Amino acid sequence: MRIYVLRQLVLLIITLFLLTIFAFCLSYWFPGDPVTNSSGIFSDDTMRYADAASSRGFDGNILVQYWHYLAHLFRGDWGISLLDSDPVFEQLQLRFGATLEIAVLAMLIALVPGVALGVLSALNFRKPIDHTILSMSLSGYSIPVFWFAQIAILLVAVRWGMLPIAGQINPLFNIEAVTGSILLDIFINQPENMGLAFRSAIRHITLPVLVLSVMPMMLLIRLTRSSMLDVLDKNYITSAYAKGLSTRRVISSHAIPNAMQNVIRELGSLLSLLITNTMIIEVIFSWPGIGSWLIRSIYERDYPVIQGGLLLIAALILCVHVALNLIHAWRYPQVRKDLHATS
Amino acid sequence: MLLDIRNLTISTHTANGRVNVLDKVSLQVDEGEIHTLVGESGSGKSLIARAIMGFLSPRWDVQADRLWFQDIDLLNLNAKQRREIIGVDIAMIFQDAKSYLDPNLTIGEQLNEAVLDQDLSASFFKRKAERKEKVISLLHRVGIKDHEVMMNSYAHQLSEGAAQKIMIASAIAHRPLLLIADEPTSTMEPATRQQIYRLLAQLHARYGMSILMISQDLGAIMQQTQRLSMIYSGQIMETGPADVLLAKPAHPYTEALLNTSLYRHAEMKPRARLPTLAGAEPTLQHLPIGCRLGPRCQYARPICVKTPVLEKHRERQLACHYPLHLEEDHE
Amino acid sequence: MPRPNLYYEERTPSPLERVWLEFNRNPLARAALYIIIFILILCIFGPWLTPYGPNEQILDAISLPPAWSDDGNIRFLLGTDELGRDMVTRIIYGARYTFGYPFLVVLASAAIGISLGAIAAMTVGVKSSTLKHLLDVLMSIPSLLLALIIIAITGPGLSNALLAIGLVLIPQFLHVTRNAIHDERQKPYVTASRLNGVSDMYLLSMVFFPNIVKVLVIQLTIGLSIAILDIAALGFLRLGAQSPTPEWGSMLAQSLEVAYITPWVMALPGIALFLTLVSVNLVGETLRIAIQKQLER
């Protein structure tokens, strides 16, 4: 096990290292001047431009430049935005919190019904209830999220006026951003009308989180169902019945734990889906997260922001994947055995 | 009579319509008897075992004149009543035992499950300790001395023989009256197979439970077998005391199987041709009518397209229009 | 003495026939198949079927509701948008952008990805395992994000978006092909062929390919679904097809401002997109089930 953890961590570090090389190269591949692309300082600001160029080692060869790039990266100096001269790193920190807030909440909301419906569907294999759940998940999985969000806004927010359309909180509440996550920020700021502020924030967050949770939930239903069906065919389920255990006991202590093993392995694809949708949802609901900032900066050609945003999201995905692998190996003994046999 | 099956018919839908996979199978197991059911793979012998346990999925249609365990009708039980019998009075072990162990739980945890609450006498708080004691004694009974190591192992760390011992341990947890063993040794090496047979024989001798052993090879049945039943393609061919059947097979199928096994090799001349049954087992889509052995039987005559019924001939029961060797008995 | 043939001949349906049987068994799946064929026809013959040009503005018919509404006009079956453009025409033209082009792109990247994957699978050793790890990493990053990176370099636009998605799909096909061949390689029948002394080329085309083609077909439908969704998403984010192009995603983006007054402008491209995606996913799912059944036999 220890060897496996070590191997995974080493692989992670190597991959992250490759990722920084890629991000570094981006400033050359983007149109325009690499110094501007990486630091966010235009060449007409002669003084600072010269500063940036020398501090980033642009007088040296490509290796020196990369070395300086890494140094800046770890110092937290990721350049400034070409548009509004905000420091990229600080902004990303704030927006990262906001993104995580809706992504994690949506994931949590998707998790329980997704798994439950998947199990239910598998237990009623080829019965009407299975067909209903299956067609629901297939069509739910095919709804383009941006269209779904628009309909939700049109119906819930505009037609019925139940929830606000966009933003994190009513701007009248003066909440200073600390973590970026609005619910945490209210808690940290402790404004005098905290109850009202929470109410407003929750009203704002409900719609995006619900819309965002639909697709992962549908995918989770399908993953859980197929994995449950696999497991229910296994011999150890038969032998559990042969011991005289009740159906409920067999399902809860043998079938579901084993089915979750496959689901955990597939969670990576769920994560991809979640991240893609989070970016789109952020744009639609004007949520101040990484995704909306990244997309805006792509058509504004704000290269330091693109570079930083990509680096952060990709690094996040890689770390989560390694974490999933480790959980998988830690929780499931026979995976460990396979790993030892091959390594 | 512990287990009494009369005319058990199991059918299923195939592309070519309804097929009786089991055709009017009758089988009796007495108290304290070791009964071996022999048939080639695909002859439906596992289906019988599963029908007794109630494991068949709904696509199998089960009908029987009688499927009784003691005086309980196994066909009409609700889930709760079934649980009071399955795993308590009837237990089952399988071939390929490893795959019948949950890969993600330790052996100890799985054996814990086999010990039912009703078998425990201690108060609620001491139950855990008592349960563990029971599990350890179960492991000792199947000949595993290193119980600590075993209880913390996972299925993938065990050998096939050890896994089968665990299955036996969990099967005998409640002192069942009937143990169904579905080819428990078919994937094992001969030495391990003998070990498992010896263990089963010991348990049989000590607790007097009946064993319904399912085997696909006459050459590898338990020596302690008291009764033999031959099944071919879903029809019972011959049933009787093991020594009688092995000495004087009356049914052509029994004789053919005996000839191909090692039993009779001593009588054979050197360089003689090893007798085999011509042809192959019919597939489910192409079951012959009448006696299903018909197309492969060297004694078959036109009347064989009528299904022979299982009839009593002295101590054996036989389903054949032209039995062998019986005339000599009548002298 | 020859044995008489007692058994009547049973004909097993060929794999393709079985797939067709599976579609026949499930009316929804068959409907999905017909929808896809219908959309394909629209892609090819669309311009000859439409009454107006995609960007033709009819000034006396601005923001008309669909024909069945009281204010509707039968000349415009599904109404017009805020600039007086016929919705039917725009949706039909949009099929080309949202379904046709991604379809071609998927075919192209499948061709490249599968041949690269086959080459990668035939080589073994350090090179191969490094490649596997790199591919795993690449696969874990969402396709839309990768497409965004490429668009950030090349700039927005429909052709750039198509190029980006094509590039993104190649590693997926590569990965699937390589893994499928690797799985097959372990199987005894491949060993048997190798013992027969066949060449690598023969092994690839006559031994591996017929056995992995199922996996590839499924991957093709998955790729198509991804490509359609990503093209529409990029259009919606205004990074793909640009404003007057009747691509369904960008039509949705344009409808944002007027959706409150003329909801059909938003509903129609969405429904078209949804139907396409459901059909593609359903056909893929049915293929998967049919192939799984064949494996179970």
Which CATH number is C79's domain given?
A: 1.10.3720.10
CB–CB of A138 and C144 under 8 A?
no
Which of C145, C152, C229 is the closest to A144 by Cβ?
Answer: C229
Which chains touch A (3+ CB pairs under 8 A)? Answer: B, C
Q: What ipTM score was computed for the predicted complex, to two decimals? A: 0.85
CB–CB of C10 and B285 under 8 A?
yes
- Whose CA is closest to A38, among A5, A15, A62, A17? A62
CA atoms within 13 A on the CB side of A129: 10
Three-state SS sequence of chain C? CCCCCCCCCCCCCCHHHHHHHHHHHCHHHHHHHHHHHHHHHHHHHHHHHCCCCCCCCCCCCCCCCCCCCCCCCCCCCCCECCCCCEHHHHHHHHHHHHHHHHHHHHHHHHHHHHHHHHHHHHCCCHHHHHHHHHHHHHHHCCHHHHHHHHHHHHCCCHHHHHHHHHHHHHHHHHHHHHHHHHHHHCCHHHHHHHHCCCCHHHHHHHHHHHHHHHHHHHHHHHHHHHHHHHHHHHHHCCCCCCCCCCCHHHHHHHHCCCCCCCHHHHHHHHHHHHHHHHHHHHHHHHHHHHHHHHHHC
User: Are both A273 and A333 inside the same structural domain?
Assistant: no
Answer for the pair B118, B85: CB distance below 8 angstroms, yes or no: no
pLDDT digits (tens, 9 = 90+) for A283-314: 888 888 888 888 888 888 888 888 888 888 88
pLDDT of residue B266: 64
Give the mean pLDDT of B118-130: 76
CB–CB of C10 and B16 under 8 A?
yes
pLDDT of residue B172: 84
Residue C5 lies in a domain: no
User: Are both A283 and A307 inside the same structural domain?
Assistant: no
> Where along chain B do its domains lie?
28-55+79-96+184-329
The answer to whether A128 contacts chain B (CB < 8 Å) is: no
For C257, phi and psi rounded to 5 degrees? -75, -30
What are the structure tokens assigned to A280, written together?
A: 């789109």
pLDDT of residue A198: 83
pLDDT of residue B331: 38
pLDDT digits (tens, 9 = 90+) for A115-132: 999 999 998 888 889 889
Number of domains in chain A: 2
pLDDT top residue among B284 and C106 = C106
pLDDT of residue A118: 92
Residue C32 lies in a domain: yes
pLDDT digits (tens, 9 = 90+) for B127-182: 888 888 888 888 888 888 888 888 888 888 888 888 888 888 888 888 888 888 88
User: Are both A64 and A111 inside the same structural domain?
Assistant: no
Of the ranges A317-321, B126-130, B218-222, C15-19, the best mean pLDDT one = A317-321
The answer to whether C70 contacts chain B (CB < 8 Å) is: no
Pairing assessment for the beta strands B311-313 and B316-318 based on DSSP bridges? antiparallel
Q: Which residue of C has its CA nearest to B278?
A: C3
pLDDT of residue C165: 92
CB–CB of B53 and A243 under 8 A?
no
What is the average pLDDT score of chain B? Answer: 81
Which of B53, B104, B154 is the closest to A242 by Cβ?
Answer: B53
Give the mean pLDDT of A60-73: 83
Residue A206 lies in a domain: yes
Residue C3 lies in a domain: no
Chain B residues in contact with A239 (beta carbon < 8 A):
92, 94, 100-101, 167, 170
Structure confidence at residue A343 as a pLDDT band (50, 70, 90): very low
Structure confidence at residue B187 as a pLDDT band (50, 70, 90): confident
CB–CB of A241 and B53 under 8 A?
yes
Give the closest-approach CA distance of C1 to chain A in angstroms. 46
Percent of chain C with pLDDT over 70: 93
Give the mean pLDDT of C144-164: 88
pLDDT top residue among C269 and A339 = C269
pLDDT of residue A296: 86
Q: What is the CATH number of the domain that holds A278?
A: 1.10.3720.10
Residue A293 lies in a domain: no
pLDDT of residue A342: 43
The answer to whether C9 contacts chain B (CB < 8 Å) is: no
Interface test with B, best of A125, A237, A243 (most B CBs within 10 A): A243
Which chains touch C (3+ CB pairs under 8 A)? Answer: A, B
CB–CB of C145 and A276 under 8 A?
yes
What is the average pLDDT score of chain C? Answer: 84
Stated pTM of the model: 0.84
End-to-end CA distance of chain C: 34
Residue A89 lies in a domain: no
Residue A91 lies in a domain: no
pLDDT of residue C108: 95
C227 has a pLDDT exceeding 90:
yes
pLDDT of residue C7: 52
pLDDT digits (tens, 9 = 90+) for B16-68: 677 888 888 888 888 888 888 888 877 788 888 888 888 777 788 888 888 88
**Which structural domain, as residue segments, surrounds residue A134?**
97-288
pLDDT of residue A117: 93
C2 has a pLDDT exceeding 60:
no
C193 has a pLDDT exceeding 80:
yes
Chain C residues in contact with B279 (beta carbon < 8 A):
3
Give the closest-approach CA distance of A156 to chain C in angstroms. 12
What is the average pLDDT score of chain A? Answer: 84
The answer to whether C7 contacts chain B (CB < 8 Å) is: yes
End-to-end CA distance of chain A: 11
A196 has a pLDDT exceeding 80:
yes
B28-55+79-96+184-329 to CATH, choices 3.40.50.720, 3.40.50.300, 3.60.20.10, 3.30.360.10: 3.40.50.300
A273 has a pLDDT exceeding 80:
yes
Residue A163 lies in a domain: yes
C109 has a pLDDT exceeding 90:
yes
CB–CB of B171 and A242 under 8 A?
yes
CB–CB of C10 and B295 under 8 A?
no
CB–CB of C151 and A30 under 8 A?
no
Give the mean pLDDT of A260-283: 87
CB–CB of B288 and C6 under 8 A?
yes
pLDDT of residue C107: 94
CB–CB of C259 and A150 under 8 A?
yes
**Which structural domain, as residue segments, surrounds residue C244?**
19-296
- Total CB pairs under 8 A between chain A and B: 74
pLDDT of residue C82: 78
pLDDT of residue B3: 85
pLDDT of residue C10: 58
User: Are both A195 and A253 inside the same structural domain?
Assistant: yes
Percent of chain A with pLDDT over 90: 10
Give the mean pLDDT of C152-165: 88
pLDDT of residue C5: 53
User: Are both A139 and A259 inside the same structural domain?
Assistant: yes
pLDDT of residue A242: 82
CB–CB of C252 and A317 under 8 A?
no
Chain A residues in contact with B99 (beta carbon < 8 A):
234-236
pLDDT of residue A228: 92
Number of domains in chain C: 1
C4 has a pLDDT exceeding 70:
no
Which of A26, A150, A313 is the closest to C145 by Cβ?
Answer: A313
pLDDT of residue A247: 83
